[in-house]
Amino acid sequence: MQAVELIRKKRDGNALTTAEINWLVEQYTHDHIPDYQMSACLMAVYWRGMDARETSDLTLAMAHSGEELYVRDSISPVVDKHSTGGVGDKVTLALAPLVAACGVAVGKMTGRGLGHTGGTLDKLESIQGFRTALSREEFMRVLTEHSIVLAGQSDDLAPADGKMYALRDVTGTIESIALIAASIMSKKLAVGASHLLLDVKVGSGAFMKTLERARELAQTMVSIGQLAGLHTVAAITAMDQPLGRAIGNALEMIEAIAILHGEGPPDVSELCYHEAAELLLMTGVASNPADAEERVGQAVRSGAAVAKLAEVIAAQGGDPHQIEQPHLLAVAPVRSMLVAPCSGYIAAIESEQMGLASMYLGAGRFKKGEQIDHRTGFILQAKVGDHGHVGDPLVKIHARTEDEAEAVQESLLACYTWSDAPVLLGSMIYDIVRPL
């Protein structure tokens, strides 16, 4: 096979065969196809797209490009969860222990934040001593002993994805449904859970800006899961304003603990409980929606959910007292309050801009590998639909210095749109996409 022939074939709008896709991914992973051919090929895929069979083949080839964990061979059912990312999205932090407390094992590998969206790994690392770089043996031991493990994404899993993603990032080929779906699903298939819940965010603060694109991505990933034997369900959920009230790593960890206590902000709590119930239904642990909701509520009320978080934190070297007493988490030295410049209803909070503002405080990274400050961020005092008056508290800023706290105010205020008329909020969950 010749790489240039396959580029031409895709360029001309033809589907690549399974053998051709396997060859491309294998040769590229082993540096036998140079980046300049793969980038032309990726642009051709961006242009022409891939059908369901091609996308599934690409995903499997990437999943098979390195080590594979097959966690479901050791414990079953075992669930995995992935969110396409948003601002203030701490759902995984609460969802994983909540589901594990309900008797469903959770084996989760997770990544760092980049740009305006945070990463679950960074949020977890706000806990003192918590280790996320686990060997394969540690991962499997923690999972089987505690029914939950929360680890960093291993570079040995789906290395083709890591290599292709880095190339796509600098060649304008990120925003392809087929390539996004293959990238996400290849890592999930390499872990090898039995059930996967996807949270596809849609809205101004999300990667998918329209419901149509979000639905296409959700359907593509559910279809890949179906073809590859991984029971996958995708929730399409709103990311029109930051999720919950906390933005920033330790601040979001604290909010996740509140959710597990049943004391979190309503939007993010409901989303978390609903997704947990969906996982109980998918795995057959709950027999119907009412049963699932009841089990989730019981795990929260009994304290089993927050105890499960403390358990996994301890199992991975973290300090569980920081879960039991979240005030022990490191706090930013400067806290100041941004107040409302006018009276009225909050009509919109531009979450992408707010994510960027939090990066300025050190809560996120502009480039891979940058250090972040786990302590900084924002606590929203009011959300979309709330009414307030001039001078009412709007955002509590947690910053490293007075200067940074001051400097961020203008861009924070620019995130807000006000209305004289009341603002109606829609549902958090737009749709649930299940296998056909």
Contact footprint for a copy of itself (CB under 8 A): 3-4, 7-8, 11, 34-40, 42-44, 46-47, 167, 169-173
Residues in CB range of 409: below 8 A, 6 or more apart: 338, 397
Catalytic residue among 161, 199, 240, 373: 161
Do 221 and 367 meet the contact criterion of CB atoms below 8 Å apart? no
Is 82 labeled as catalytic in the residue annotation? yes
Catalytic residue among 10, 123, 168, 274: 168
**Amino acid at the residue 247:** I
Q: How far is CA 84 from the centre of its chain?
A: 5
Is 183 labeled as catalytic in the residue annotation? yes
| Structure token pair of residue 192 | 């090898």
Task: Tell me how far, at minimum, the Cβ of 44 lies from a copy of itself, in Å.
Answer: 6
H-helix segments, 120-265:
120-124, 136-146, 159-169, 177-191, 211-228, 249-260
Looking at beta carbons only, is 167 or 285 nearer to a copy of itself? 167
Looking at beta carbons only, is 144 or 171 nearer to a copy of itself? 171
Looking at beta carbons only, is 29 or 120 nearer to a copy of itself? 29
Measured at the CA of 193, the angle between CA 188 and CA 198, to 5 degrees, comes to 55
Give the number of C-alpha atoms closer than 13 A to the C-alpha of residue 139, restricted to the C-beta side. 23
Looking at beta carbons only, is 34 or 435 nearer to a copy of itself? 34
Q: How far apart are alpha carbons 387 and 118 in whole angstroms?
A: 28
CA torsion 127-132-138-141 (nearest 10°) is 60
Task: Tell me how far, at minimum, the Cβ of 119 lies from a copy of itself, in Å.
Answer: 22
Task: Tell me how far, at minimum, the Cβ of 175 lies from a copy of itself, in Å.
Answer: 9
Q: How many CB atoms lie within 10 A of CB 363?
A: 28
Is 161 labeled as catalytic in the residue annotation? yes
Task: Tell me how far, at minimum, the Cβ of 160 lies from a copy of itself, in Å.
Answer: 16
Do 317 and 298 meet the contact criterion of CB atoms below 8 Å apart? no
Looking at beta carbons only, is 46 or 139 nearer to a copy of itself? 46
Do 283 and 291 meet the contact criterion of CB atoms below 8 Å apart? no
Q: How far is the CA of 247 from the CAs of 45, 127, 136, 320, in angstroms? A: 36, 16, 31, 22
Task: Tell me how far, at minimum, the Cβ of 23 lies from a copy of itself, in Å.
Answer: 16
Looking at beta carbons only, is 37 or 144 nearer to a copy of itself? 37
Q: How far apart are alpha carbons 316 and 129 in whole angstroms?
A: 8
Max Cα–Cα distance, the chain, nearest Å: 68
Task: Tell me how far, at minimum, the Cβ of 176 lies from a copy of itself, in Å.
Answer: 10
Q: How far apart are alpha carbons 291 and 313 in whole angstroms?
A: 28
Catalytic residue among 39, 83, 147, 183: 183
Is 240 labeled as catalytic in the residue annotation? no
Task: Tell me how far, at minimum, the Cβ of 352 lies from a copy of itself, in Å.
Answer: 17
Is 187 labeled as catalytic in the residue annotation? yes
Q: How far apart are alpha carbons 156 and 163 in whole angstroms?
A: 11
Looking at beta carbons only, is 207 or 416 nearer to a copy of itself? 207
Active site residue ranges: 82, 161, 168, 183, 187
